[in-house]
Amino acid sequence: MSDDAADAIRVLLVDDDALVRSGLRMMLAGAERIEVVGEADDGRGVLAAVDRHRPDVVLMDIRMPQLDGIAATRLLRAQPASPEVLVLTTFDADELVLQALRAGAAGFLLKDTPPREIVRAIELVAAGEAMVSPSVTRQLIALVAGDGEAAARGERARKRLATLSPREREVADAVGRGRANAEIAAELHMSVATVKAHVSRLLAKLEVDNRVQIALLVQDAGG
């Protein structure tokens, strides 16, 4: 295997629309570091497809007829060493998007996102970065802020964040503001390696899957 092939980001496409899958496959074929390794046409086939193809990133449609992308993401993220998930959606300010992020998706893409941005998003989540801006996160949370769970979620989030050291809380707040590792390092006068170590500890301590879920906790807590 060549070094380029070894370094390629392996992508699985999950969408019930064959034309969407075909378009994504053709578009991603031109990306140097991305290899589409398989497809599934419904959420029910995700676990088997992941076992078969071992992707690094799954592009997951939210709306599918039998098992939707939210349930499929939840199933997938419950597996050990699961791939990152980017959900595909038609509307950005959509309660279903927030549900997918809470289920463990690392971000979302609109289906009309330009090809270069889709490639960049895949590269970012494969590298462990988040793919949702804080403004969009706040907009999504505002959609369900009046539901019966909002107050309880806020209280739970504040209790979980209260377990952090002052430095860990600073890093969590920076993640909640959408800062990348290099930006956090500059802002808090740390090395990038130290920031990465803090983020890893935050994931374990807060028992969350990814940076997006750290940001969601900060937003839920009123950060």
pLDDT of amino acid 45: 92
Q: What does the domain layout of the chain look like in residue ranges?
A: 3-131, 148-220
Task: With CA atoms as reference, report the closest residue to 100 among 71, 130, 145, 70.
Answer: 70
What's the mean per-residue pLDDT of the chain?
Answer: 86
CA 9, CA 193: separation in Å to the nearest integer?
A: 22
Ramachandran angles phi, psi of 36, nearest 5°: -80, 115
Q: If you classify domain 148-220 with CATH, what class do you get? A: mainly alpha
pLDDT of amino acid 202: 95
CA 108, CA 23: separation in Å to the nearest integer?
A: 18
CATH superfamily to which 3-131 belongs: Response regulator (3.40.50.2300)
* DSSP structure string for 163-209: TS-HHHHHHHHHHHTT--HHHHHHHHT--HHHHHHHHHHHHHHHT-S
Residues 112-123, buried b or exposed e (16+ Cβ, 10 A)? eeeeeebbebbe
Residue spans of the chain under pLDDT 70: 1-6, 91-93, 130-148, 223
pLDDT of amino acid 122: 93
SS3 115: helix
pLDDT of amino acid 2: 42
CA 134, CA 137: separation in Å to the nearest integer?
A: 5
pLDDT of amino acid 1: 40
Q: Which amino acid is at 8?
A: A
pLDDT tens-digit profile of 178-223? 888 899 999 999 999 999 999 999 999 998 888 888 988 888 888 6
pLDDT of amino acid 56: 96
Number of H helices, E strands in the chain: 12, 5
36 beta partners? 11
- Is-contact 106 84, C-beta < 8 A? yes
pTM: 0.76
